[in-house]
Chain A
Amino acid sequence: MITRQRLAAGVCVLFAALTAGIAFPVAAVAGEPTGGTAPQVDLVLDVSGSMRTADIDGGTRMAAAKQAFNEVLDTTPEEVQLGIRTLGANYPGDDQKTGCKDTAQLYPVSTLDRTEAKTQVATLSPTGWTPIGPALLKAADDFTDSAASKRIVLISDGEDTCAPLDPCEVAREIAAKGIGLTIDTLGLVPNTKMRKQLSCIAEATGGTYTSVEHSDELTDKVNQLVDRAADPVVTPVATEGAGQCTDAPALKSGLFTDREEFGQQRWYRVDVEPGQELRTSVSVAADRAVNPSYGVLLRAVTVHGREIVRGESSGNGRTDVISTGLRYPKADSDEDDPAAETVCLQVTNSFSAASGVKATPGLPLELTVDVVDAPSSSSDVASFGLGRGWWLLGLLVLVGFLAGLVWGWVSRWRVAVWRTN
């Protein structure tokens, strides 16, 4: 009985230990603070005259948008700072110049007062032009200066009516200015031209484009995007690579962004001490129309220009990003006070712009650098020189058997010799 009790107690302890072991990391992850500052979201809503069209579940596009906004405002997570901007809400006239300036901040990007925001949304009625480009430019200024992730959600039912300013290029320039700004676009009952324009805006910033035909789709999508903004992510640090290693910025472990033009090369420097391993990966994003064959090359080079190791990747077809990486374990040194080695990292890309696409600003480049402690190198292909398999067993048995036979004969022979003497 006592044995059984002990056994039961042991099982309990074991179970508790296991549970604690499983539960602990989960708790640790959940307990992490959400990246310093609050994520910011700016909803940009098209209130142009065409929003009067009644083709979403029998109601007008405006009604669907209002309903979606109300539901989204109810469910927005507490930590998200949310703002609302309108475009085409105030000027009903025919003058393009005035109509294209028609964008207003309905609710500033700040901690959400749900009732206040809802009251503001209720006052909207479809009015004017569709100045997407200018609205995006203004929306980029709505955000307060912080390291938090920023997201613009653009909801529109028509393409931009304010040529020649291309909203796609505007988006690219906004993304080039700020860090961690993403534009997601939603097209209400879109046509082909609109799809192209809105998905171009989204791709320029690493965002997503969604077509919306029903009001519940709109609510779900905006909710999803706001939730996505609330997810804590690492904010990259902006850096600027140089044209050669000697001028390159010295990087430590971390996540960095830069811009790299077509055909340009970027150099960075990382110090690696003996016994450490440098791990770095780079991805170059295709934020505009590029030709279908492309590649990226990342080289680790000594200060004297000798290549240590390289990572290369190439691809073909539709892509958001092309990436590669490398690792460089630096062997331990016997010296008393070994000096760190400066490793130069060179990044080049072989993207080429499709015809009629602007080359500036450069393509977004993301660089991760990890310097970790490295082990000594491997000495054998197999695990500790051990073997496995039936051949190994057979060989060992055969050798053992032969060794036994020889041993036996030798001892018999010795006995015989001893006897004759």
Chain B
Amino acid sequence: MRITRVLGAALLMLGAAVAPAAADSSPSPSASSDSDAPTSAGTSFRTATEFEQGQQATASGSTGDYLYWSFPADAGQRPTVEATVKLPETHAGQTWQVDVYDGLRRRQACQYGAQTRTAAADATTVELACVLRTVRAWSEPWANDPLPGTYYVRLTAVGLTTADLGQPVDATVEVNSKDIGGAAAVDGSLAKPLVPGISMKSEASSEDDSSASAVLSSIEPEDGWSGGWWSDRWVWTAVGGLLAALAGVGGYSLTRGAGRPSRVPPGA
């Protein structure tokens, strides 16, 4: 009896401890180092420079350039794109904008963050941010939900005077994700992440290696794409089942009372 009680208490404690811990969202760990962070940017979807989440990608360009980067985002992540532009010494008022596109080049909405910002004539930097929606493991083809795969960041000046065209600017882009976890878990997953050119990549690798050429996107998260089946919902549900069983035992024992039924005469 005591063992049952101790065990029950332990399980309860465990349940209480594990569930919120697993449910807690924690920021994704930063990539180990910035040493291999890219120092240039592409100028189109096709030439976008790839970088990992947590890395700080830098690039020097000219006002009026369209700077492109791409990064991987996996299911359950809510990426935040932050861009900083160092403006030239003298300039007129400029409006800068950061846009995020998914692997199908569909524009992705920002939940919040200053996606577009106008820098006054005396400003030295512009800081832009875009908090994306949580990446889902699966969605209907008719939906525009963010899905695991490549994401493109486009940074450009959308409003500028002709006199400011071609001035040197430095841009920094960083992406960090909040791990939303099981709250965003859905049933189903994509067979392959939304990485452009992924079907050609698999063909190329199965053929002779020398025929392999540049790919549209060779992007992959550091620890690979998640299979899409794990979520903390397993923990919640399992703990819930255990607690229910314990509560069942408790309810049952309440109806039994302590010891033998009082109506039963001793020695029966």
Contacts and interface: CB of A to CB of B under 8 A. Distances in A.
A19 to B, nearest CB: 12
B162 A386 contact: no
Given A217-B168, A372-B199, A25 B220 contact: yes
B248 interface: yes
A375 B213 contact: no
A235 to B, nearest CB: 8
B183 interface: yes
A387 B240 contact: yes
Interface in B117-165: 137-138, 141-142, 156-160, 162-163, 165
A23 interface: no
Contact of A32 (B162, B163, B214): B214
Nearest to B214: A232
B166 A210 contact: yes
27 contacts: A187-B166, A192-B162, A192-B163, A196-B165, A209-B165, A233-B46, A281-B105, A324-B107, A327-B141, A372-B191, A374-B191, A378-B138, A381-B187, A382-B186, A382-B187, A383-B137, A383-B187, A384-B229, A388-B185, A395-B240, A396-B243, A397-B243, A401-B244, A404-B255, A405-B254, A407-B252, A408-B255
B100 to A, nearest CB: 12
Given A211-B166, A313-B106, A404-B254, 10 more contacts: A34-B214, A208-B64, A228-B43, A325-B104, A325-B105, A370-B199, A378-B187, A387-B237, A397-B240, A408-B254
B218 interface: yes
Contacts of A387: 233, 236-237, 240
Interface string A30-65: 001111100000000000000000000000000000
Given A320-B156, A378-B138, A207 B233 contact: no
Interface residues of B, number: 87
B63 to A, nearest CB: 9
B46 A378 contact: no
B225 interface: no
A411 B60 CA distance: 79
A386 B198 contact: no
Nearest to B157: A318
Given A253-B200, A318-B156, A393-B243, A208 B213 contact: no
Contacts of B157: 318
A391 to B, nearest CB: 10
Contacts of B47: 228, 231, 233
A341 interface: no
Q: Which 4 A-B pairs have the closest CB atoms?
A: A404-B251, A325-B104, A408-B255, A400-B244
Contact of A403 (B165, B215, B251): B251
Give chain A's interface secondary structure class: mixed
A379 B244 contact: no
A328 B141 contact: yes
A408 B249 CA distance: 9
B213 A399 contact: no
Contact of B248 (A253, A313, A407): A407
Contacts, number: 267
A29 interface: yes
Nearest to A378: B188
B110 interface: no
Interface of A: 22, 25, 29, 32-36, 182, 187, 190, 192, 195-196, 198-199, 206-211, 217, 220, 224, 227-228, 231-234, 236, 253-255, 277, 279-283, 309, 311, 313, 317-321, 323-329, 366, 368, 370-389, 392-393, 395-409, 411-412
A232 B218 CA distance: 12
A250 B246 CA distance: 63
Contacts of A22: 222
Contacts of A402: 251
Contacts of A397: 240, 243-244, 246-247
Contacts of A323: 45, 101, 105-107
Given A199-B166, A393-B240, A404-B248, A382 B185 contact: yes
Nearest to B107: A313
A398 B188 contact: no
B24 to A, nearest CB: 12
A29 B65 CA distance: 27
A371 B199 contact: yes
A190 B166 CA distance: 10
Contacts of B162: 192, 195-196
Contacts of B137: 383
Contacts of B102: 325
A207 B234 CA distance: 51
Contacts of A34: 214
Contacts of B103: 279, 281, 325
Contacts of A325: 102-106
Given A375-B189, A387-B233, A211 B251 contact: no
Given A224-B60, A231-B47, A317 B158 contact: yes
Contact of B166 (A33, A195, A384, A401): A195
B11 interface: no
Nearest to B224: A21
B196 interface: yes
A36 B213 contact: yes
Contacts of A378: 138, 186-188
